[in-house]
Amino acid sequence: MKDFNYYAPTEVVFGRDSESKVGELVRKYQGTKVLVHYGGQSAERSGLLDTVFHSLESNGIDYVKLGGVVPNPRVAKVREGIALCRKEHVDFILAVGGGSVIDSAKAIAIGVPYEGDVWDFYLRKAVATTCLPVATVLTIPAAGSEMSNGSVITNDEGKLKKDYGTDMFRCKFALMNPELTFTLPPYQTACGVVDIMMHTMERYFSHEDDMEVTDGIAESILRTMKEMAFKVLHTPNDYVSRAQIMWAGSLAHNDLTGCGTVGDWSTHRLEHELSGMFDVAHGAGLASIWGSWARAVYKMRPTRFARFAVNVMGVSNNFNSPEQTALAGIEAMERFYHAIDMPISIPELIGRPATEEEILTMARICSENDSYSIGAFKALNMQDMVEIYRNANK
């Protein structure tokens, strides 16, 4: 079991009507003028923004608003937010939405005090030394950005999708009302479940086998997501099941499931190139590539995959070898993805096979021209990435 530091400073207010407390919490964390950052019109139509604005006004807090965040949030919108915050002397960023909105809010928060272009951070040309405080009213459980230290932004120039992480990104508070997720479409719900599970699995598939507490937490989250996914897809207004998913989304990505392990993150990095090139939903992209990654790496520690197969996927332990059990677990995971209408290949994801040129381009960008390897369970070079993309393209 590896030594670790665990840091999760976000104040979580969970339950019905929690969004009505946003004003008092902004005041608690010394915000005086807020950028309310959000996505499309659903937050307006549902009345959620009116609730947020009323709460801010009731607590004497001024605000400006900026909507228009899209899935795979764009750096152009981040730059627009930075300019608005500087003009209006904003000192607090409030994200009302899901992971894309929160990631965009985080990028704005480090960009406002920075003299250069915010994209410098995502290209690793700059290191953040200061950041405006960020908080969220969560409406989509998936990315876990409400408690994580990361942000992922897309630059349409070059179709690049890059991440940046700093503990300064961690939200001051997260308001989480499962009722706000009742109207999520089935596809978006399923994508969220995949993302939650993948955040757990990226940490779970590790060479460390002696962290029983961490493994037990991870396996519980994964089994719960399998069960709750079917419940909410059948009964969208099931509060208890929606609540399980919402809380699991935070636990899966606040580093709790990585205590004492070394995470892999190859599937996420490979998917970033898929969604950067094809602008697909992140969760669906993860589902489409995971099986190909798993088959490429499971022999590094088949007993780990066998444990996953038995403890998470419910596979029988009567196979003749850990390798056979492992493969049965991978197949069971893909059957689950199909059962919730998620793709398990690139053609299912984008409606056609990727071209060889597209595959080579994704691998080249992901490997930084074959100068950079990804993954810890098994280090993958550019040729490894090409083969994973090719196998996922069948």
Residue-wise pLDDT for 146-204, tens only, equals 999 999 999 988 789 999 999 999 999 999 999 999 999 999 999 999 999 999 999 99
Residue 368: other Cβ atoms inside 10 A: 11
As a whole number, mean pLDDT of residues 376-383 equals 97
- CA 127, CA 124: separation in Å to the nearest integer? 7
Residue 11: helix, strand or coil by DSSP? strand
As a whole number, mean pLDDT of residues 213-234 equals 97
Specify the residue for token string 């809010």. Answer: 105
Angle between helices 266-278 and 282-297 (to 10 degrees): 140
Residue 114 near residue 155 (C-beta atoms within 8 A): no
Residue 28 makes CB contacts below 8 A (sequence gap 6+) with 173
For 252-270, the pLDDT digits (tens) are: 999 999 999 999 999 999 9
Residue 107 near residue 151 (C-beta atoms within 8 A): yes
pLDDT-derived band at 121 (thresholds 50, 70, 90) equals very high
Judging by beta carbons within 10 Å of its beta carbon (0-12, 13-18, 19+), is residue 321 exposed, middle or buried? exposed
pLDDT-derived band at 2 (thresholds 50, 70, 90) equals confident
Q: Which CATH number fits domain 11-180: 3.40.50.1970, 3.30.1360.120, 3.40.50.300, 3.40.50.970?
A: 3.40.50.1970
Provide the CA 376 distance to its chain's centre, in angstroms: 19
pLDDT-derived band at 69 (thresholds 50, 70, 90) equals very high
User: CATH 1.20.1090.10: does it fit domain 184-393?
Assistant: yes
Q: What local confidence, expressed as pLDDT, does residue 1 receive?
A: 81
Percentage of the chain with pLDDT > 90? 94
Tell me the domain boundaries of the chain: 11-180, 184-393
Residue 38 near residue 45 (C-beta atoms within 8 A): no
- CA 373, CA 293: separation in Å to the nearest integer? 14
pLDDT of residue 41 exceeding 90, the answer is no
- CA 187, CA 71: separation in Å to the nearest integer? 14
Specify the residue for token string 């002397």. Answer: 89
Whole-number Cα distances in Å, 370 to 9, 124, 273, 342: 37, 17, 15, 31
Nearest 5 degrees, angle CA 61-CA 65-CA 67? 150
As a whole number, mean pLDDT of residues 299-313 equals 97
- CA 56, CA 77: separation in Å to the nearest integer? 24
Specify the residue for token string 């608003």. Answer: 65
Residue 27 near residue 190 (C-beta atoms within 8 A): no
Mean pLDDT (the chain) is 96
